[in-house]
Amino acid sequence: MAQAHEARARLCAAHGWDESAVELVPVVASGDRIQDRPLAEIGGKALWTRELDQWLVEGRIDGAVHSMKDVETLRPEAIAIAAILPRADKADRLLGAESIAAIPAGARIGTSAPRRAAQLLHLRPDLTVVGIRGNVATRMAKLEAGEADATFLAAAGLDRLGEDAVGVRLDPEAWMPAPAQAAIGIECRSDDARARDLLRAIDHAESHAEIAAERRLLEGLGGSCSSPIAALSRTSEGRIALSAAIFSPDGTVRIGDESEFAAGDDEAPLVLARRLLDRAPPAVTEHFGQPL
């Protein structure tokens, strides 16, 4: 809902509308209702989009607001990513310790994200990963209740909720974020020219290009919600520097590489994906689907 409020505020500012011109329609996704199991066990990232997709196609809503890291790579042809808002802080924050190195030996670290679990175990194989899911408030409460000794949350989500002082920011160059992390996307029906035109006014071209590149990387890897993938884009003067890493789930294997290319280049992220997969052993590739 915080993301929806931001989308509405930007739309109203762009078009000179009163706030009442944009109605917010709450939709509870399956991913919010089912929080006791990892996404990979219960349907993957589609759990965050299924209900909103249906409402869009049925015409009950004109646009759907998503955290782009939770949107599956391949989308229905009937739905278009019409706008990406200016990307927020891409970093993760660590709650419960001052740094990865400062986490006590043998501590239990709560996360259901394969990327965070694998990256953590690669750096600290002495730690134990325990699965926890839920929104920001839920995960902070689980940490307070002792279900884990430390956990991770996206800096962008905390900032949007006014929790900018919570946790310790991890340098994204050293602790790489998820592909498309910190980006709010707005989808609409592909054939809804009016909605696409209205949303175009709040599309941030640089952020959109980064998200397109990172999602293209996912497509090239055949990545899913169970594939440990990290990616970081930096944009300068119309060019994107994209770093990426893929892992074995237990963190024992890490394959990293990077590429620089012009924004809008759809082929370069695929080439990067192929390089990563070509160097990866079966312990990594068996957790990826059919690459492009």
Active site positions, annotated:
70
Distance CA(131)–CA(109), nearest Å, equals 8
- Secondary element (H or E) of residue 258: strand 254-262
Distance CA(180)–CA(128), nearest Å, equals 27
3-state SS, 190-234, equals: CCCHHHHHHHHCCCCHHHHHHHHHHHHHHHHHCCCCCCCEEEEEE
Two structure tokens written together for 268: 């370069």
- 8 Å CB contact between 166 and 158: yes
What are the start-end ranges of the E strands in 96-213? 108-110, 128-130, 150-154, 168-169, 184-189
Distance CA(57)–CA(43), nearest Å, equals 20
- 8 Å CB contact between 128 and 106: yes
Task: Report DSSP state, residue 236.
Answer: E
Q: Which residues pair with 83 in a beta bridge?
A: 186
Q: How many CB atoms lie within 10 A of CB 131?
A: 15
Distance CA(132)–CA(152), nearest Å, equals 10
Please state the length of the chain: 292
